[in-house]
Chains A and B, each alone.
Chain A
Amino acid sequence: MRKARIKPAVKESPLFWPVKLAENGRCLRVLDESLIPRKLRYIEVRSLPEAVRVIKQMKTRAFGQFLVVLNTFLLVLANAKTRSPQALLSKIRTAAGRLNHSRPTFPFAEVTAIVVAWAQAAAAQKADVAASVSKNIDGYLQGIRGRRLQRVQKIAEVLRDGDSVLTHCNVSGELAMAAAICRQQGKDLHFFATETRPYMQGAKLTCWELQRMGAQVTLIADNAVGSLMADGLVNKVVVGSDRSCANGDFANKIGTYQIAVLAEEFGIPFYVLTQPSHKIKTGDDIPIEIRKAKELLVFSGKKIVSGPVGGFYPGFDVVPHRLITEAIAIDVR
């Protein structure tokens, strides 16, 4: 297993870095976020098809999917029976293609293009493609890890004593770790987490990790956001993002847009954690993944309404930049 070179200021949430590569490089251990809070279990991923499956099935999400994408290249290289630069380059291109199409809203292509470029450069120089790409991915991930830990500190700076913070879905460990830092600093904070239908990431993941980190958290239904804001029960909103645009628009879990509109209406500052990108101009250009209606209509194997009822499940919202008070950004390019 690769050793972490940068130590966080507080205990790390399991959701902060939910994917780990085994010491021999032939197996990824992916935190099965769908089992939280019942179990903390890791899925073993040994091949490209298995990696694509954990992404499509949302066993991990958001930053975890980004980690799966990058680590899958290491897996592909470790499993390759050839050392031929061109053959390895071809395998990397194939992996990139499969990963790029696993979920349309995510900017996987932006990341896989970087890896393909590293492989192309190594092949052109007749260098060891596997060693070169592995070293680059490792360095890249360590860089991102450091910048995310810095962002945790920035979030902690944004949060003030007495704040009551609304969050939606799950921001992959960063908010919970910032809450722990605030706690160390003696700040008294309260968090409200939306359930985040249909997968309930807010109820299952955010409540769980905030509670684990010692924060005070209260769960609300997605439809209670207006009531909470109108009654003055929250004074800040902090959300993550899955994709950013050149003009500052971003995509995030479905439900984020209406929260942003309400925050604007009630004068509540709206913060978003972003990974800026200039590959897409505006939010209107982001392809929104429409997932199967069954994922909405059936919960734990049981239908929620009877009869021939249709369902519509857009996975993401686009939030226009003008609704954002501040983007707390890290550069992942």
Chain B
Amino acid sequence: MMSVKRKSAIVLQGVFDASIFDALKRRKIKEAFVLEGRPGLEAAKQSSRELLKRKIRPTLIADNMAGFLFYKNLVREVWVSCQYADRKGALCQIGGLILGVLGKKHNVPVYAYPNGSKVKLLGSSRELAFFNGVKVAPRGVPGYVPLAEWVPSKYITKVYNGKGIS
């Protein structure tokens, strides 16, 4: 197994306003785990690119692998991207709720950070039929493609406003 110390991993989920990467750099973060972000994989592409620019090593994991990191007690903190937040919770990119629930169960802080743009609430079935341009689903099987989800405040430790991390 790769060498990750207990409670050391920073996990990023979603597409973020670029200011978060500057903040991670200022905190001297050396490595971050990046979730793929199906269906478009924009999260994987954007976060990897921005982290590499700042000489932070990105390690990609699939969207179903975050639980493993939690189970092994490797996660220090989680960042999920959101496009709206109020005192009841945040509208996050799809997958944010999984991270929120895992964070609550394992007592790991989950921070919401703006994504800097509006995300559609629902994608098309066709987006799931393909992966990285390759057809994966059998013909005639519909896909249900939520792109954003509400994450109640009980799963979020703090919402940041996009002006950096204090």
Contacts and interface: CB of A to CB of B under 8 A. Distances in A.
A254 interface: yes
A221 B94 contact: yes
Most central of A192, A223, A290, A312 by chain B CB within 10 Å: A223
A45 to B, nearest CB: 26
Which of A211, A265, A305 gathers most chain B CB within 10 Å? A305
Interface in B119-166: 125, 128-129, 131-134, 136-146, 149-150
Interface residues of A, number: 58
A304 B44 contact: yes
Contacts of B77: none
Contacts of A259: 67
A262 B68 contact: no
A258 B52 contact: no
A100 to B, nearest CB: 20
Contacts of A139: none
A219 B39 CA distance: 12
Contact of B98 (A223, A290, A293): A223
Given A192-B144, A203-B136, A219-B142, A313 B65 contact: yes
A228 B149 CA distance: 10
A95 B44 CA distance: 42
Given A207-B138, A257-B67, A314-B65, A224 B146 contact: yes
Interface string A265-281: 10000000000000000
A103 interface: no
Interface residues of B, number: 59
A194 B38 CA distance: 12
A195 B65 CA distance: 13
B68 A257 contact: yes
Which of the listed residues B2, B48, B98 has the most CB atoms from chain A within 10 Å of its own CB? Answer: B98
B84 to A, nearest CB: 16
A302 interface: yes
B92 to A, nearest CB: 10
Contacts of B21: none
A197 B62 contact: yes
Contacts of B97: 226-227, 230, 262
Interface in B95-131: 95-98, 100-102, 104-105, 125, 128-129, 131
Contact of B95 (A226, A305, A306, A308): A226
A226 B150 CA distance: 10
A188 interface: no
A309 B65 contact: no
B60 interface: yes
Interface in A190-213: 192, 194-198, 200, 203-204, 207-208, 211
Interface of A: 37, 168, 192, 194-198, 200, 203-204, 207-208, 211, 217-228, 230, 233, 254-259, 261-262, 265, 288, 290, 293, 296-297, 299-300, 302, 304-314, 317-318
17 contacts: A37-B137, A200-B131, A204-B138, A207-B137, A211-B140, A219-B143, A219-B144, A222-B63, A223-B63, A257-B68, A261-B67, A293-B60, A299-B131, A305-B49, A306-B49, A307-B52, A314-B65
- Top 5 closest pairs, chain A to chain B, by CB: A255-B64, A258-B67, A226-B97, A223-B95, A197-B62
